[in-house]
């Protein structure tokens, strides 16, 4: 298959001129750190602030007037996204949404390249690439504006983190005046910059595909070594675990194999967001993501949210089919899913209550995720620990042991009356009849 790419013209009048968006959704063998929640729902479809994680991506994409087509690329089965795509087509009539399934994991760049014909159909000038496991305000229009101003071949979304946290991410060195990316390293061993990769990109189509192609060629010439960084390690959600798949020539990753070269040779710029940004990596990270998306919806005066009252501390999302007793106190940062029931005098704060869950009278749920059809008994207390707002970590150290900050009940768990559950992760179908703390209940 050959790729016909014309030289980029300064004026784009003759090219397709449009923009497409790609959301990288990963596959079932990924997202293991999102267990136990990913055992029942693929992570991209997990409800945060009342909507699937990728719905928030689509909402942002829908605000870019030049985008009419969105591809989800991943290696889940076809059926996984069918209902979501159907519903979204109604909600976002201007977007055509398609799922492109990789039959084997190809890497973030490999997947793009594999589906280049579908992506390049209609000759779009730009593509947005969004990792589905980030939570942010997705300032896509601002990125597009910067791209036009700079006549960029690539724009990356960046954010500042603490110097300690920086080495857990891809680090960007940029010219503060021109905003040009000078250097990019994925997870450096030493401190390079606290401006990090948010996992959201805008590429000129005539730049990204040749870059991937030359990376593939390099890989074929020098298998395994290629452009691997010395500091490469395994804890990014964007990369693949270091298994056999890794060694296949087709696994090409944007972060390891493409961005570093682009910094050297291309018109590569960074748009630095001052808004919130979080990875949705572990199951517990759904709680800060929930809080941030709810806050955003509250600031945008979304009619979906419940107005403030004596027993509602905003922002709170309650699905129209959920039943919340008027004496229950909810919020801040609470999402209650379809058909969930919250009893008299219950308290829910900084938590997600999923579909069909029930919280009985006088129970207290703090910093927790209550799984689908789970039950929390009367006067029970299900509790996690708040983490600092600036923290990108969802575990805490208690008595010298690392435990999950957020308490998570998987699907159909039951907490008996008056029982206390603190800093626990509880796998599906468990019944808790004694007090537990700092445990994984298997």
Partner 1 sequence: MILHQIEALAAAGVTDIVLAVNYRPEIMEKYLKEYEEQFGINITISIESEPLGTAGPLKLAEEVLRKDNTPFFVLNSDVTCEYPFTDLAAFHKSHGDEGTIVVTKVEEPSKYGVIVHKPNHASRIDRFVEKPVQFVGNRINAGIYILNTSVLDRIELRPTSIEQETFPNMVKDGQLHSFDLEGFWMDVGQPKDFLTGTCLYLSSLSKKGSKLLTPSTEPFVYGGNVLIDPSARIGKNCRIGPNVTIGPDVVVGDGVRLQRCVLMAGSKVKDHAWIKSTIVGWNSIVGRWARLENVTVLGDDVTISDEIYVNGGSILPHKTIKSNIDVPAIIM
| Least distance CB 364 / partner 1 (angstroms) | 4
Instruction: For residues 182 and 291, give the distance between their C-alpha atoms in angstroms, rounded to a whole number.
Output: 34
Lookup result for tokens 């923009």? 19
Comparing C-alpha atoms, which of 368, 374, 371, 359 is closest to residue 414? 374
| CB closer to partner 1 out of 133 and 358 | 358
| Least distance CB 136 / partner 1 (angstroms) | 30
In the chain, how long is the greatest CA-to-CA distance? 70
Give helix then strand counts, H and E, for the chain: 10, 34
Tokens representing 306 are 């419940």
| CB closer to partner 1 out of 173 and 378 | 378
| Least distance CB 432 / partner 1 (angstroms) | 16
| CB closer to partner 1 out of 28 and 416 | 416
Instruction: For residues 103 and 118, give the distance between their C-alpha atoms in angstroms, rounded to a whole number.
Output: 16
Binding stretches for partner 1 (CB under 8 A): 327, 329, 344-347, 349, 361-362, 364, 366, 379, 381, 383, 398-399, 418, 420, 422, 437
| CB closer to partner 1 out of 418 and 431 | 418
| Least distance CB 379 / partner 1 (angstroms) | 5
Q: Tell me the pairing of strands 154-160 and 195-204.
A: antiparallel
Spell out the residues 6+ positions from residue 332 whose beta carbon is closer than 8 angstroms to its own: 291, 294, 313, 314, 315, 316, 349, 350
| CB closer to partner 1 out of 33 and 420 | 420
| CB closer to partner 1 out of 30 and 381 | 381
| Least distance CB 284 / partner 1 (angstroms) | 18
Q: What is the DSSP string of 338-385?
A: TT-EE-TT-EEESEEE-TT-EE-TT-EEESEEE-TT-EE-TT-EEE--
Spell out the residues 6+ positions from residue 1 whose beta carbon is closer than 8 angstroms to its own: 117
| Least distance CB 333 / partner 1 (angstroms) | 14
| Least distance CB 345 / partner 1 (angstroms) | 4
Alpha helices in 185-272 (DSSP H): 205-221, 244-247, 259-265
| CB closer to partner 1 out of 33 and 361 | 361
Instruction: For residues 338 and 170, give the distance between their C-alpha atoms in angstroms, rounded to a whole number.
Output: 38
By the 8 A CB rule, do 78 and 34 touch? no
Phi and psi of 213, rounded to 5°? -60, -40
| CB closer to partner 1 out of 229 and 398 | 398
Comparing C-alpha atoms, which of 223, 222, 157 is closest to residue 195? 157
| Least distance CB 347 / partner 1 (angstroms) | 5
| CB closer to partner 1 out of 243 and 418 | 418
| Least distance CB 386 / partner 1 (angstroms) | 10
């Amino acid at each position: 298959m050959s790729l016909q790419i014309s030289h980029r013209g300064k004026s784009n009048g003759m090219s397709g001129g449009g923009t497409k968006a790609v959301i990288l959704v990963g596959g079932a063998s990924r997202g293991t750190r999102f267990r136990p929640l990913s055992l029942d729902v693929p992570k991209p479809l997990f409800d945060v602030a009342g909507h699937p994680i990728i719905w928030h991506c689509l909402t942002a994409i829908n605000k870019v007037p030049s985008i009419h087509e969105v591809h989800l690329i991943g290696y889940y089965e076809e059926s996984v996204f069918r209902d979501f795509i159907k519903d979204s087509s109604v909600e976002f009539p201007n977007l055509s949404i398609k799922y492109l399934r990789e039959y084997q994991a190809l890497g973030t760049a490999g997947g793009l390249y594999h589906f280049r014909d579908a992506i390049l159909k209609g000759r779009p000038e730009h593509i947005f690439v969004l990792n589905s496991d980030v939570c942010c305000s997705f300032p896509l229009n601002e990125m597009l504006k910067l791209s036009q101003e700079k006549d960029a071949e690539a724009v990356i979304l960046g954010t500042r983190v603490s110097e300690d946290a920086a080495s857990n991410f891809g680090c960007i060195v940029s010219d503060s005046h021109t905003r040009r990316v000078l250097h990019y390293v994925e997870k450096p061993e030493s401190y390079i910059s606290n401006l990090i990769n948010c996992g959201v990109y805008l590429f000129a189509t005539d730049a990204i595909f040749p870059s991937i192609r030359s990376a593939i060629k390099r890989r074929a010439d020098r298998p395994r070594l290629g452009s691997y960084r010395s500091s490469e390690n395994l804890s990014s959600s964007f990369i693949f675990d270091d298994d056999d798949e890794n060694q296949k020539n087709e696994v090409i990753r944007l972060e390891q194999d493409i961005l570093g070269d682009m910094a050297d040779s291309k018109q590569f710029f960074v748009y630095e967001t001052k808004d919130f940004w979080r990875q949705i990596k572990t199951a517990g990270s759904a709680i800060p993501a929930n809080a941030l998306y709810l806050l955003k919806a509250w600031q945008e005066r979304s009619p979906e949210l419940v107005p403030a009252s004596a027993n509602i501390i905003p922002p709170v999302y309650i699905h129209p089919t959920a039943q919340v007793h008027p004496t229950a106190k909810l919020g801040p940062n609470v999402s209650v899913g379809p058909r969930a029931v919250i009893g008299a005098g219950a308290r829910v704060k900084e938590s997600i209550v999923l579909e069909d869950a029930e919280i009985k009278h006088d129970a207290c749920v703090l910093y927790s995720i209550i799984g689908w059809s789970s039950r929390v008994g009367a006067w029970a207390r299900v509790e996690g620990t708040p983490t600092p707002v600036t923290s990108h970590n969802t575990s805490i150290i208690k008595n010298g042991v690392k435990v999950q900050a957020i308490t998570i009940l998987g699907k159909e768990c039951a907490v008996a009356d008056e029982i206390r559950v603190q800093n626990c992760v509880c796998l599906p179908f468990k019944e808790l009849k004694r007090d537990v703390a700092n445990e994984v209940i298997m």
